[in-house]
A = this chain, B = another copy of it.
């Protein structure tokens, strides 16, 4: 696959500074690019590599074009344009339709002929697959689950019974969709399991990383709306609702019945106490403990302390254990000084 810079410019409505007939056939980083490579500059951290790049073309913002030593493709959103071009140059692997002889597919499952079902995959009774679904090696789809067109379940994914997944969804290896939520009721001599009778509903264009868990609802469904992107190692508890186009970075955990709005950006290792409501467009920084609802859209929230050298850290954190006492002593001093000043 090869494409001229001019063709890219026409297709995506951006401007060329330099030779539009330059042809590119692969992507590379600024620092390692050679002839035939197209690259991009989006993060200012990497600007130092621009002047010496060996790329045939660079996608960048207008403000960086002056320093570009080669053909420039000028875009308001270089990273997104790069993503589009890279997808053209390296399209996802095309399906090889058919059911591998080593797969196990129930008679009552509906598997269109244009699906690819890998070796050791298991498709239980009454599963309904859409068109062009990819079911990777070792994937298990529980009875009655429904998978939309063009969705790809990669190796060793588990989709439990009754789960409903939309179109063009990608789920990476090792993730588990629809296991029982953590519902237990205290009794005098231990805990009694609360049946988890809801399911999971996942919209279109959702991507879910590796080793992520999304539990089924207790009574109603856990819901992941269209365009949500979840990274690896994430916990989504029962009856969570995640609004459209929200993204969640790795290692975050969302407790039960929490509702997150649209287009939120949740960084890594964030923890949500349960039963909260988070407004649209909220940003939460890494390792935050979200311990209350956020009603106002668009804010930025934090609770993780920045790192320090351990010796200094120990001193400060020891003081923290007496912070309430410090605050009281400060108040007393203020009173005393006020009295002294009055004298």
- Report which A residues bind B (CB closer than 8 A): 27-29, 32, 43, 45, 77, 79-80, 82-84, 86-87, 90, 92, 100, 102, 104, 118-120, 122, 124, 136-138, 140, 142, 154-156, 158, 160, 170, 172-176, 179-180, 182-187, 190-195, 197, 205, 207, 209-213, 215, 219-220, 226-227, 229, 231-235, 237, 244-245, 247, 249-251, 253, 255, 268-269, 271, 273, 275, 283-292, 299-324, 326-327, 329-330, 333-334, 336-337, 340-341
The answer to whether A140 and B173 have CB atoms under 8 Å apart is yes
Copies of chain A in the complex? 3
* Cβ-defined contact, A197 with B27, below 8 A: yes
Contact partners of A312 in chain B: CB under 8 A: 321, 324
Please name 16 pairs of A and B residues whose Cβ atoms are closer than 8 Å in the assembled complex, sorted by A: A79-B186, A83-B192, A84-B192, A122-B138, A137-B140, A154-B160, A170-B180, A176-B211, A182-B232, A184-B247, A190-B205, A191-B245, A209-B213, A301-B308, A316-B324, A322-B327
**B186 and A80 contacting across the interface, CB-CB below 8 Å:** yes
Q: Is the CB of B249 within 8 A of A251?
A: no
A319's partner among B82, B190, B323 (CB-CB below 8 A) is B323
